[in-house]
C-alpha cells in the first residue's frame, strides 16, 4: 500500500505484451501480430524474435525509465526481463522484480541451485515473508500446503501476518486483516461433482452469510462445465456473471461457423486429418477468451466465474474452488496453491473423496462436510401388506 500521494501521470502500469506492442507502435515500429499460446513455445519464440527486430529498429527513439518494477515475475520468460532492461531501463536506473516461484503455473521460469527464479539481476533475493493481504487462516493454509505438496521443489516460506499495531500504520489497508479470525475455510467432499448442485449449496451459504454475489468468484478448470454453470445461473437464478470464457450461446455460434467453413471446403478430408478443424475451433475460442479476460471486472456487482489460470493476479473476498474428476491429472499443485492465496475472507473448496488433496483439506480446514447430493428423487414411504390372493394392500 502506498502511504504518500503521487502524481499518477508519472506512472505507467501495464502487462508485458501490451506494453511492448504499445511502445513499438508509439515509436513507429511494426507491431508483431503473432499468436503465442501458454503452451505453444514455437510461436512464443517466433514472437520474441519479431519484437527484438522491431525494438532494434526504434531503440534510439525510446524514452527510458528511471525505475521499473515487475510484479508476478514467476510468470515471465527470462528473455522478457532481458528485453525490458535492455530497451527501457535508463542507465543507473532501478530494476526491481517481485516473484513467488511457488506460483509458477506457466512453467516459463527456470530455477537456480537455490530453488529461486533465474533473472538477469545478480545477487541474493530479498525475502518478503510478512503478508498484508490474506490474513492468519489463509496464511496458515498456504504454509501447510507448501509443506505437504511443494517442499521438494521450492524453498518453504515462513509466512507471517502483521500485528494490530502494524495494521494501524496502514490506514488504507484491507479491513479483513484486522478481523481475519473470522475467515472461513470450508471443505465439502463428494463422490460425484455436479456444478449445478454445487451452486445450490453456494446459494444457501451466501444467503446465510448475507454475502453479495459481486464478492464471489467460482474457479474451476473444466470450461465445458463452467460454461454450463454460467448458463444455469443466468437462466435459473437470473444472476449475471463476469466470465473469462465464451457463453454457451457463443460457443455454439463459433462451432457452427467453423462447421460451415469445413463443410464447404473441398479439402475437407485432408484438413480433418491434419487437425485443421480442431485448430481452427481452438483459435476462434482463444480469441474470444482473451477478449473476455481483458474485459473481466473483479470490482463489479456480478458473480465471477473463471478458470484458475485466468484468475491469477486477482483476489476476491469469497472464493469457491471446484476440484473435479480431472484435477489430480491436469492441474498442478502450484495452481491449487495460487488459488488458495487469491482468497481474502471465505474459502470454499468442493472436491472428491478419492482425490489426492482429500486428506490435506479434511485435516487442515476449519469445517469439513460430507456433502452428498441425492441423484434420485426421494420417494415417500408407504406401508403395505399382502392379501390372501397375493395382492398388494397399501
Question: Is residue 270 predicted with pLDDT exceeding 90?
Answer: no
- What integer pLDDT is reported at residue 115 of this predicted model? 61
- Is residue 72 domain-resident? yes
- What integer pLDDT is reported at residue 308 of this predicted model? 86
- Is residue 198 domain-resident? no
> Can you tell me the distance from the alpha carbon of 72 to that of 84, in angstroms, rounded to the nearest whole number?
15
**Boundary-marking domain end, from 109, 126, 143:** 126
Ranges of beta strands (E only) in the chain are 65-70, 89-97, 184-190, 216-220, 241-243, 303-307, 316-322, 343-352, 367-370, 385-386, 392-393
| CA-angle at 59, arms to 54 and 61, nearest 5° | 115
In the three-class reduction of DSSP (H, G, I as helix; E, B as strand; rest coil), residue 359 is classed as helix
Tell me which residue of 144, 206, 130, 212 sits closest to 173, measured CA to CA: 130
- What integer pLDDT is reported at residue 244 of this predicted model? 95
- What integer pLDDT is reported at residue 61 of this predicted model? 94
- What integer pLDDT is reported at residue 208 of this predicted model? 92
Q: What is the pLDDT of residues 184-205, one digit of tens each?
A: 788 888 888 889 899 999 999 9
Q: What average pLDDT does range 325-333 have in this prediction?
A: 74
- Model confidence, pTM: 0.71
- Is residue 27 domain-resident? yes
> Can you tell me the distance from the alpha carbon of 26 to that of 20, in angstroms, rounded to the nearest whole number?
10
- Is residue 103 domain-resident? yes
Lowest mean pLDDT among 70-74, 220-224, 225-229, 363-367: 70-74
| CA-angle at 277, arms to 42 and 254, nearest 5° | 105
Break the chain down into helix, strand, coil percent, rounded to 5: 45, 15, 40
Top pLDDT among 309 and 155 is at 309
Question: Is residue 95 predicted with pLDDT exceeding 80?
Answer: yes
Per the CB < 8 A criterion, the answer to whether 243 and 310 are in contact is no
Q: Which three cell numbers stand for residue 314?
A: 486477482
Q: What average pLDDT does range 229-255 have in this prediction?
A: 95
Question: Is residue 228 predicted with pLDDT exceeding 60?
Answer: yes
| Beta strands 184-190; 343-352: pairing state | parallel
Top pLDDT among 75 and 87 is at 87
Q: What is the pLDDT of residues 128-185, one digit of tens each?
A: 666 656 667 888 888 899 899 988 887 767 666 656 665 555 554 555 455 554 677 8
Tell me which residue of 369, 315, 325 sits closest to 346, measured CA to CA: 315
- Is residue 143 domain-resident? no
> Can you tell me the distance from the alpha carbon of 296 to that of 332, in angstroms, rounded to the nearest whole number?
24
**Boundary-marking domain end, from 126, 158, 176:** 126
**Overall number of domains in the chain:** 2
Mean of the per-residue pLDDT values of the chain: 79
Query: Which residue segment(s) compose the domain that 113 sits in?
Result: 1-126
Tell me which residue of 205, 225, 175 sits closest to 327, measured CA to CA: 225
> Can you tell me the distance from the alpha carbon of 292 to that of 308, in angstroms, rounded to the nearest whole number?
14
Question: Is residue 326 predicted with pLDDT exceeding 80?
Answer: no
| 309 band by pLDDT with thresholds 50, 70 and 90 | confident
Per the CB < 8 A criterion, the answer to whether 344 and 315 are in contact is yes
Question: Largest Cα–Cα distance in the chain?
Answer: 104
- Is residue 38 domain-resident? yes
> Can you tell me the distance from the alpha carbon of 357 to that of 137, in angstroms, rounded to the nearest whole number?
18
Top pLDDT among 324 and 85 is at 85
Per the CB < 8 A criterion, the answer to whether 96 and 72 are in contact is no
**Boundary-marking domain end, from 295, 312, 334:** 295
b or e along 123-145 (b: 16 or more beta carbons within 10 Å of the residue's beta carbon)? eeeeeeeebebbbebbbbbbeeb
Amino acid at each position: 500500500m502506498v502511504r504518500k500521494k503521487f502524481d499518477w501521470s508519472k506512472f505507467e502500469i501495464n502487462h508485458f505484451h501490451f506494453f511492448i506492442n504499445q511502445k513499438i507502435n508509439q515509436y513507429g515500429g511494426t507491431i508483431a501480430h503473432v499468436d503465442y499460446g501458454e503452451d505453444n513455445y514455437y510461436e512464443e519464440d517466433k514472437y520474441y524474435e519479431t519484437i527484438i527486430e522491431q525494438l532494434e529498429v526504434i531503440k534510439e527513439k525510446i524514452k527510458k525509465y528511471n525505475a521499473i518494477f515487475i510484479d508476478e515475475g514467476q510468470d515471465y520468460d527470462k528473455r522478457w526481463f532481458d528485453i525490458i532492461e535492455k530497451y527501457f531501463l535508463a542507465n543507473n536506473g532501478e530494476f526491481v522484480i517481485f516473484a513467488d516461484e511457488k506460483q509458477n503455473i506457466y512453467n516459463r521460469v527456470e530455477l537456480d541451485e537455490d530453488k529461486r527464479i533465474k533473472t538477469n539481476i545478480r545477487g541474493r533475493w530479498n525475502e518478503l515473508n510478512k503478508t498484508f493481504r490474506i490474513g492468519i487462516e489463509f496464511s496458515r493454509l498456504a504454509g501447510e500446503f507448501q509443506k505437504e505438496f511443494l517442499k521438494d521443489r521450492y524453498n518453504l516460506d515462513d509466512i507471517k501476518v502483521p500485528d494490530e499495531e502494524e495494521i494501524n500504520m496502514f490506514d488504507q489497508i484491507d479491513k479483513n486483516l484486522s478481523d481475519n479470525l473470522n475467515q472461513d475455510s470450508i471443505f465439502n467432499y463428494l463422490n460425484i461433482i455436479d456444478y449445478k448442485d454445487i451452486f445450490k449449496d453456494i446459494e444457501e451459504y451466501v444467503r446465510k452469510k448475507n454475502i453479495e454475489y459481486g464478492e464471489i468468484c467460482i474457479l474451476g478448470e473444466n470450461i465445458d462445465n463452467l460454461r454450463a454453470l454460467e448458463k444455469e445461473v443466468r437462466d435459473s437464478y437470473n444472476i449475471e456473471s463476469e466470465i473469462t470464457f465464451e457463453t454457451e450461446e457463443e460457443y455454439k455460434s463459433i462451432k457452427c461457423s467453423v462447421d460451415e467453413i469445413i463443410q464447404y471446403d473441398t479439402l475437407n478430408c485432408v484438413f480433418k486429418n491434419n487437425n485443421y478443424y480442431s485448430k481452427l475451433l481452438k483459435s476462434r475460442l482463444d480469441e474470444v477468451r482473451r477478449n473476455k479476460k481483458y474485459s473481466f471486472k473483479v470490482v463489479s456487482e456480478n458473480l465471477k466465474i473463471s478458470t484458475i489460470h485466468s484468475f491469477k493476479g486477482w483476489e476476491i473476498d469469497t472464493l469457491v474452488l471446484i476440484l473435479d474428476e480431472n484435477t489430480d491429472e491436469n492441474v498442478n499443485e502450484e495452481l491449487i496453491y495460487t488459488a488458495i492465496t487469491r482468497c481474502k475472507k471465505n474459502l470454499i473448496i468442493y472436491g472428491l473423496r478419492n482425490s489426492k488433496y482429500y486428506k490435506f483439506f479434511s485435516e487442515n480446514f476449519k469445517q469439513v462436510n460430507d456433502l452428498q447430493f441425492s441423484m434420485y428423487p426421494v420417494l415417500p414411504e408407504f406401508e403395505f401388506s399382502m392379501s390372501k390372493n397375493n395382492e398388494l394392500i397399501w
